[in-house]
Amino acid sequence: MATAEVRVSPGEQAAARQLERIPEPTIVVIFGASGDLTKKKLLPALFHLEQAGLLPEQFAVVGVARRPLQEEFPRDMRAGILQYGGVEAGHARLDDFISRIRYHAMNFDDPGGFGRLKDLLASIERELGGQGNRLYYLATAPEHFADIIHHLGEQGMARPERGKVRVIIEKPFGHDLASARLLNDDVNSVFDESQIFRIDHYLGKETVQNILVFRFANGIFEPVWNRNFIDHVQITAAEDIGIEGRGPFYEKAGAMRDVVQNHMMELLSFVAMEPPVSFEADAMRSEKVKVWRSIPPIHPMDAMRGQYGPGQVNGFPVKGYREEDRVDPQSGTETFAALKLGIENWRWAGVPFYLRAGKRLSKRVTEIRIQFKQPPQLLFNTSSGSCKDLQPNLITMRIQPDEGISLRFGAKVPSPNMEVCPVVMDFNYANAFGKSSANGYERLLLDAMLGDATLFAHRDGVEATWSLLTPILDSWAAARPKDFPNYASGAWGPKSADALLERDGRAWSQS
């Protein structure tokens, strides 16, 4: 009897593989482990995975940094998991998890230190009975990345005889196009591209992944997701916090390098990309890169920068950027950036995208607003009544806080007149699914241990975003801003950012 051939599409295969979500035995090695990221994000995220039963039994974490912290490190990590991970002190699995944390002190340019680290990993492995799998996490200051990569290669730790070795590299990946290329060359000379995971924690956020689900798992939005129906798009990443003691880092970075080149560009690509053929790394990355490559050079008049001065945030007085610890009192670093750009392809030609990101703004909100065109004919008289302007449809994707999605539309006000007012249909994550303490790193750490690079940046993507932004950064570096500080803490940024939209007869949302 002939058996029917079962055909499985690439998408179904990928979905099936994704169900096998427990990684093989792994040692996670975090370089730069004494920094805030490890304590506030990485260890809480790893413990969340442990709580969810998603870590292998043979699992260990080795923190690596310069200072001798052997005693303090596990204690500090426990404190971090409790404080930032929303975990209760007596949690049944916590003691066992902490007992799997080790620490190794060394300088990142010392070959001997790497040799000793290699021995330590081998001895942990003998104890655990692992298989040689390693996940290196580069969470140091970016200037150490090249040294660490070089020494891992020299010591034979990048491509061992057995087991899988992968490396996660924190952002910012490079400082501009030339340095990103150089770093890519360095990393690619030691690791194969399939071993490299360039992380952007925004891609680990549920609400960011949900942009794709909203667009591609529903039939009703995609037909109107284009230039025929959409007037413009606004992407805002506003923070009320300042630089939180990170003066030396932020002085070199600024808003453009810290969040626009990575988080904002990723959000933009998710909103604008074509449906990929599957939810797999190569398919996703090639659609994202097409978006960035379709953006024409940004005109200097379409890029605005700002720096916060003293002011009030959430009712409390705060100092200006130039008064922050370890910041140049004459600093020209931007703490705010706004851009207008276009995407010249069939879907988006003529639709402006406005992006803004800044620190010490009025409140913390990351959101994407898809503003639709006005209906072609206004049937109803809106010149009287309480709602004078007929507002066009608007989809707001709230990435954080108050995660959710809302749709604004016009509705008839109950009255003898044809009065129309905007109303909002709202989906709220917490109401629908309950509150989550996940911070985005859970998903990405798990994916990296599983070797799934779908939610990580690729070499081409990183270079595409840098090539878009480097000319603006160069022109900013060449002309010191004369008006800094140009917005008070607690405001919505400088006036020039408002002008970017006002010129086009539009305005930023003040949500």
Residue 206 CB, nearest approach to ligand BG6 (Å): 12
Position closest to ligand BG6 via CB: 258
d(CA 40, CA 206): 19
- Three-class SS state of 67: coil
121 binds ligand BG6 (CB under 6 A): no
Nearer to ligand BG6, 111 or 245 (CB): 245
- Three-class SS state of 365: strand
Residue 12 CB, nearest approach to ligand BG6 (Å): 33
Task: Describe the chain by its helix, strand, coil percentages, rounded to 5.
Answer: 40, 20, 40
Q: Contact at 8 Å (CB) between 132 and 162?
A: yes
Residue 216 CB, nearest approach to ligand BG6 (Å): 24
DSSP symbol at 56: -
Considering the candidates 104, 150, 232, 263, report the single residue annotated as catalytic: 263
In the block, residue with structure tokens 């008289």: 381
The interface with ligand BG6 within residues 339-378 (CB under 6 A) comprises 366
Residue 30, CA distances (Å) to 33, 64, 104, 449 in order:
5, 6, 10, 13
Nearer to ligand BG6, 258 or 403 (CB): 258
Q: Does the annotation mark 263 as catalytic? A: yes
Nearer to ligand BG6, 34 or 58 (CB): 34
Q: Give me 310's structure tokens.
A: 């003293």
Q: Contact at 8 Å (CB) between 371 and 231?
A: yes
Provide the 10 A C-beta neighbour count for residue 90. Answer: 7
Q: Contact at 8 Å (CB) between 353 and 294?
A: no
Q: What are the phi and psi torsion angles at 137 (to 5°)?
A: -120, 115
Nearer to ligand BG6, 140 or 393 (CB): 140
Residue 27 CB, nearest approach to ligand BG6 (Å): 26
- Three-class SS state of 451: coil
373: CB partners within 8 A, 6+ apart = 229, 230, 231, 392
d(CA 48, CA 42): 10
Binding mask 214-243 for ligand BG6 (x = CB under 6 A): -------------------------x----
SS3 letters across 23-41: CCCEEEEEECCCCHHHHHH
Nearer to ligand BG6, 240 or 302 (CB): 240
DSSP symbol at 298: P
Nearer to ligand BG6, 236 or 366 (CB): 366
d(CA 28, CA 193): 19
Q: Contact at 8 Å (CB) between 396 and 406?
A: yes
Residue 239 CB, nearest approach to ligand BG6 (Å): 5
Q: Contact at 8 Å (CB) between 325 and 247?
A: yes
Nearer to ligand BG6, 239 or 447 (CB): 239
Q: Which of 50, 231, 258, 442 binds ligand BG6 (CB under 6 A)?
A: 258
The interface with ligand BG6 within residues 145-204 (CB under 6 A) comprises none
d(CA 44, CA 84): 7
Q: Contact at 8 Å (CB) between 163 and 169?
A: no
Residue 355 CB, nearest approach to ligand BG6 (Å): 15
Q: Give me 32's structure tokens.
A: 């730069």
259 binds ligand BG6 (CB under 6 A): yes
Strands (E), 329-419: 336-341, 353-358, 365-372, 394-400, 404-412
Binding-site size for ligand BG6 (CB under 6 A) equals 4
Residue 259 CB, nearest approach to ligand BG6 (Å): 6
Nearer to ligand BG6, 142 or 494 (CB): 142
Nearer to ligand BG6, 106 or 259 (CB): 259
Residue 258 CB, nearest approach to ligand BG6 (Å): 5
Residue 432, CA distances (Å) to 50, 221, 403 in order:
25, 20, 11
334 binds ligand BG6 (CB under 6 A): no
Residue 469 CB, nearest approach to ligand BG6 (Å): 16
The interface with ligand BG6 within residues 60-119 (CB under 6 A) comprises none
Tell me the catalytic residues: 263
Residue ranges that bind ligand BG6, judged by CB under 6 A: 239, 258-259, 366
